[in-house]
Chains A and B, each alone.
Chain A
Amino acid sequence: MLEIKNVGWTLSDGAEILKDVSVKIGDGKLVVITGPNGGGKTTLAKVIAGLIQPTSGSIWMDGKDISNMDITQRAQAGISYGFQQPVRFKGLTVRELMELSAGQELDMDGLCDLLGKVGLCTVDYIDRDVDASLSGGEIKRVEIASVLARGTRVLIFDEPEAGIDLWSFNGLVTAFEALKDNQHTMIIISHQERILEIADDIIVMANGTIRLSGPKDEVLPKLLDSEVAGYCPVGRKVPA
């Protein structure tokens, strides 16, 4: 069980990015956080992974307060985080990144399994550097694979669909569903309906607060009726 209790994050200029956010995420659940840009989704994910220290509130995992754990300690405790904007490295190959993530050497079968899930042909990529030579879509897939390679109890993906083509996206949804069967807790920040559909629970964030949360079957219809229509012309009636 992951529990976020009354978390707030205020910038030095007084801007409140997160406002008293509280939520419980059960073991083995796939939770999708969605909502408009700037609503605090990525900030909340970074707070859970330890990349941002909140100004108030606490984070609990399995009944233990992990608020004072740093990034490394939280990673070692079983939290993985996939960056929305993947980081590039000169001199670190895809294979090396996968092995660092997995914490062990990987054979070709292991690499193919991982990279196949994100739609990358292993032979073409394992010896390439994770640097500027990879396109935005390629490096995003490598980033997702690095989180899958860790296979920890809590996996956080920040907009995994960004830059992914349709074919690979289908494979990615399948990979998320397979992990769901394995009782991993997944937190996915996404705007994609396909990902919303495989969620157990959906959290809608806006203006630094949780506007709506609950089981998918309850939240998704409301979201499609109100939230989407509020921000996107799709579904709106065209004025006569």
Chain B
Amino acid sequence: MNKITEKLLGIVAGYTGKFDGAFNIREDGGCAGRQSTENIKILPHREGKPGLEIHVAPGTRDERVFIPACVTKGDVDDLTYNDFYIGDGARVMIVAGCGVHTDDEGEARHNGIHRFMIGRGAHVTYDEKHIGTGTGEGARRINPVTVATLAEDSSLTMDTVQLGGVNSTVRKTEATLAARSRLIIRERLMTDGDETAESDFAVMLEGDDSGADVVSRSVAKGRSRQSFVSKLVGNARCTGHSACDAILADQAVVTAAPQLDAYNEEASLIHEAAIGKIAGEQILKLRTLGLSEEEAENRIIQGFLK
């Protein structure tokens, strides 16, 4: 792999010279390294699409799999389909960060379509960090699509973060939940300059006693624009909560559009949304501790997006 990939992997996937578990490193659309383990097999996509199939054996305990993707130069439009098949009762952590880098005028773009088929009683933690780097004028774009199907008694905890430097992102997440399954999503986004970010969540609560908790926190600075759309559909006895919490600065724009559809008398759905600048009192409090106004703002944002 090249040096840029190595650096990006450190940021988005905690790479320190090796990965502890199964992995596939995608670099500019090619493969810069792959390793399967006894319980986690990484194979080419069976439909011949660019991308992979990741098969986690039933009953796998506390293993990790790394599927990062890096675009390290301009004029690369990377598209990948990664399908994750998680066996019944498995407990696994998936790290799938993405970094896009350009030092020239060419655009660096990554489109990652990840599908999760999560078996009965399986528990998945999914970490996804995104960043754009490089000194070039070319745009850095990351458009992730996540589609998850959760079987009975399973869970998916998704932690998705955009660290900065991405000119535009369109993030689509869809999930379908069977009985007693749980979906937890924590999204954190930072945009600045003329960047744009769209987040679109759609969760179908199909099984009795299923539950979803979707929380997005974002900071919009400069002239950046963000939109948050969430849709929770309760088709069974279920609980759903979605929240959009945004800090606004400069001339940035944030829109939030929640939708709750309850098609079952026993569906309990909640949405919260709050958009506003940093509370003046918060800055004052930190200044009484000796921080400057700028230090206080940075500390508040750092904590908010933690």
Contacts and interface: CB of A to CB of B under 8 A. Distances in A.
A93 to B, nearest CB: 8
Interface in A169-217: none
B304 A71 contact: no
A94 B284 CA distance: 17
B282 interface: yes
A87 B279 contact: yes
B284 A71 contact: yes
A157 interface: no
Interface in B246-303: 279, 281-282, 284-293, 299-300, 302-303
B282 A87 contact: yes
B76 interface: no
A100 B303 CA distance: 12
Contacts of A51: 284, 288
Interface string A92-114: 10001000110100000000000
Given A87-B279, A87-B282, A75 B287 contact: yes
A60 interface: no
Contacts, number: 54
Contacts of A70: 287
Contacts of A146: 289
Contacts of B290: 72, 75-76, 103, 150
B150 to A, nearest CB: 28
A90 interface: yes
A49 interface: yes
Interface in A78-98: 80-81, 83, 87, 89-92, 96
A49 B304 contact: no
Interface residues of A, number: 21
Given A83-B285, A90-B304, A100 B292 contact: no
A51 B280 CA distance: 11
A83 B284 CA distance: 10
Contacts of A100: 286, 289, 291, 299
Contacts of B303: 89-92, 96
Contacts of A75: 287-290
Classify chain B: how many residues form its interface, as a range: 20 to 34
Nearest to A102: B289
B21 to A, nearest CB: 27
Interface in A115-168: 146, 150
A71 B303 CA distance: 22
Contacts of A81: 288
A132 to B, nearest CB: 11
Contacts of B284: 51, 71, 87
Given A91-B306, A92-B303, A49 B282 contact: no
Interface string B214-238: 0001000000000000000000000
A72 B291 contact: yes
Nearest to B300: A89
Tell me which of A71, A96, A146 has the highest count of chain B C-beta atoms within 10 A of its own C-beta.
Answer: A71
A101 B306 CA distance: 19
Contacts of B289: 75, 80, 100-101, 146, 150
Contact of A72 (B217, B245, B287, B304): B287
Contacts of A96: 303
Contacts of B299: 92, 100
B185 interface: no
B243 to A, nearest CB: 11
Tell me which of A51, A76, A81, A91 has the highest count of chain B C-beta atoms within 10 A of its own C-beta.
Answer: A91
Contact of B288 (A49, A91, A92, A103): A49
A80 B285 CA distance: 10
B221 to A, nearest CB: 17
B305 interface: yes
Contacts of B288: 49, 51, 71, 75, 80-81
Interface in A38-88: 49, 51, 70-72, 75-76, 80-81, 83, 87
Nearest to A150: B289
15 contacts: A51-B288, A72-B287, A72-B290, A72-B291, A72-B292, A75-B287, A83-B281, A87-B279, A89-B282, A89-B303, A90-B217, A90-B304, A91-B305, A92-B299, A96-B303
Pairs A-B, 6 closest by C-beta atoms: A91-B303, A75-B290, A87-B285, A71-B287, A92-B303, A91-B304
Interface of A: 49, 51, 70-72, 75-76, 80-81, 83, 87, 89-92, 96, 100-101, 103, 146, 150
Given A71-B288, A87-B281, A150-B289, 6 more contacts: A49-B288, A72-B291, A87-B279, A90-B303, A92-B303, A146-B289
